[in-house]
Structure 1
């Protein structure tokens, strides 16, 4: 509880002086608490992290009024809850397909057990290729390609430049592009060998 006693002082420093050190301290103080709350709502690690990042972006954007908030803890948890509910509503209305959950069997009409086995192998290879990406590349790929966020939005969420977003996305696409075609070509040869 001693840590929470410094909240009003941090609010003042952020509001009056744009104090980044105080802002980081505030983020450090609340990040895990807000993350656990967000995760409890949405059951997705990446999305919970994104929501908590959005909460802190909102705090920084409205920092001038930060000193006026009487109970910052309640405010932060309320914003987190509201963003989670908005996320859940958006997911319900426009479900996002996670690359880890792609079921090729439902999108392609396979006829033979061999083709079903190959599809399972391809799905596994996609997962492995994604897991081999550096965490930042994987997160940026997910935010841009799966969540449909613009480069500018991803840059704001991750506190990086748009150029970094573009470069990391290019790295991710390049690495996936190298792994997957080679793997798929190996199945083309198997299919040809089986038919002869």
Structure 2
């Protein structure tokens, strides 16, 4: 029988505010397998993946009093494992890893004016804010695919859900982002930036659908 998913926010509050070791053990047991699969996806070494998970959990316990600001513990651990895995690979190979979502090498150097850099920063800020409004699972699926570059089946294995659920959650996330970005136009909001954001999300939806149709998931 599959263990019911705990309320991570409640567990995290107990850990940070009450030093509750039992809540920490529940958090560890529930997340370990998924986090281990994610680490192993990057480092390809069983022992290294285990060390990365252990180091992150030990550090989180030691720094629990300073971690009350973390609002999405589950997402926090996935990001921490990803970052630590990439850090290990960089140290091992001397290679610099670049987030493909941020890599805009196709643009000429002269395009990076102060105005364009400010616009890109605002675009990413608005998109990140919109992503944070997504339901927990949809947000996690979106970030694993968009930021980590994982495929449907890989995300399904890590989260222990079906590839169809991954697809559904991703499509829902894209649809929700479009609605949020269209409605989020307070005073002073740059209309052109808003339209670019919406276009970005629509493009992401088209690319995602294409990958699904050709079976690349």
TMscore range, shorter length: 0.3 to 0.5
Report the structure, 1 or 2, having the larger helix content: 1
The normalised TM-score by structure 2 is 0.40
